[in-house]
Amino acid sequence: MTKLMLCGCTKGDAASLLPLAKSWLRAPRMTCDGKEVPYDITQRAYIFEQQDLPKKAAGHFRLGSSPAHPAQGICLILPGVGAEPAAVRVNGKALAGYKAGIHQAWDGPSLILWLPVSSTGPVEIELE
């Protein structure tokens, strides 16, 4: 196992990093159609089970963030999905500034999404 420590790799002070650290260490619960999506702390990402996903990036997700479990920059990994979503909506509004990419691996493609979302309350995410 390899671990990477990111010590001193920021321009922010310690207080500004606290919400980010809390979002990593106490990640909020995410569900997709009522089924919980596991959070992988080593990748700082929610990783979907391949059998639970359609072949395209579409779905409705609920993130149960709170002050104790804040959301700060959400990463989603969707194995088996080889196309980017046509649109991303957060709480019913189109989200600008998200990043998407396809990782090609021996077992097929994976869509990786990073959503610039910061919240201490519930968040609804829609991929179209």
pLDDT tens for the 128 residues of the chain, in order: 555 555 556 677 777 777 777 888 889 999 987 889 999 998 999 998 765 555 556 788 999 999 999 999 999 999 988 888 889 999 999 999 999 999 999 988 999 999 999 999 999 999 88
Residues with Cβ within 8 Å of residue 66, at least 6 apart in sequence: 28, 120, 121
Distance CA 116, CA 121 (A): 15
The structural domains of the chain, with segments of one domain joined by +, span: 14-127
CA 30 to CA 32: how far, in whole Å? 7
Measure the CA–CA gap between 20 and 24, rounded to whole angstroms. Answer: 6
Of 75, 76, 68, 59, nearest to 28 by C-alpha is 68
This prediction has a pTM of 0.83
Other beta carbons less than 10 A from residue 5's beta carbon: 6
* pLDDT for res 32: 87
Q: Smallest Cα–Cα separation from 122: which of 45, 46, 67?
A: 67
